[in-house]
Amino acid sequence: MEIVLPDSGLRLVPRKIICVGKNYARHAAELNSTVPEEPILFLKPPTALIGSGGTVLLPPQSREVHHEVELVVVIGREGKRIAEEEALDYVAGYALGLDMTARDLQQKAKEAGYPWTVSKGFDTFAPLGPLVSASAVSDPQQVRLRLKVNGVVRQDGTTADMVFSVAQLIAYCSKIFTLQPGDLLFTGTPEGVGPVHEGDVLEAESDVLPPLRVDVQRA
């Protein structure tokens, strides 16, 4: 899936989808987990991306796939070891996204001490809404995130509750990965995650970002 960087119009296939786990304290609590002392990162492949209007495919390997609504950051220029106070200068835009998670597979992996890659990386497991320019979001720490499943609100939170801010996440990630134009950073989800089923319609909404709508089918 190609994305178009706001303002520049540059068309790119993201090389990296960097995701953050347990970045909201109440979400960590609902998973019976502790708040991390530093960001927990994992990756999704670019084949996980679908756009608004697409279909999330439930894989045959899992019987419990959960929704997680998130603020997504789009990187606009290359950077390495970025200072936190300069981090937002590297943002080209923002969007709503969903980090779909095969929770049963994730739990099994956790119990065995294995990575989460399988539970997070299936095709269609990274729905991405329309992008807006970074200038359209005056403060990424004041963004409302809401997710409806079949018209019923499941998640309703704000990025003000993040454990690690967008600037902190960019600075931290850039110490590990060289950030490149088109890279996507899924910044974590507020509480209220839950299962989805075949036939469901998921609608992510925000006060400052365009909506994201996908349906759910069994692969």
CATH of the domain at 32: 3.90.850.10
Strand order, beta sheet including 194-195 = 101-102, 65-67, 194-195
Among 70, 61, 72, residue whose Cα is nearest residue 103: 61
Q: Over the stretch 14-30, which tens digit does the pLDDT of each residue have?
A: 999 999 999 997 776 77
Identify the domain containing residue 156 by its residue range.
3-7+14-218
CA dist 82 and 46 (Å) reads 24
Residue 32 has pLDDT above 80, yes or no: no
- pLDDT of 184: 98
Give the torsion through C-alpha atoms of 198, 13, 90, 138, to 10 deg.
-40
What does pTM read for this prediction?
0.96
Residues 6+ apart with CB under 8 A from 136: 6, 93, 94, 208
Q: What is the pLDDT of residues 112-132, one digit of tens each?
A: 999 989 999 999 999 999 999
Structurally, the chain folds into a number of domains equal to 1
With vertex at residue 169, the alpha carbon angle to CA 43 and CA 93, rounded to the nearest 5 degrees, is 85
Task: Report d(CA 57, CA 47) in Å as an integer.
Answer: 12
pLDDT at 28: 66
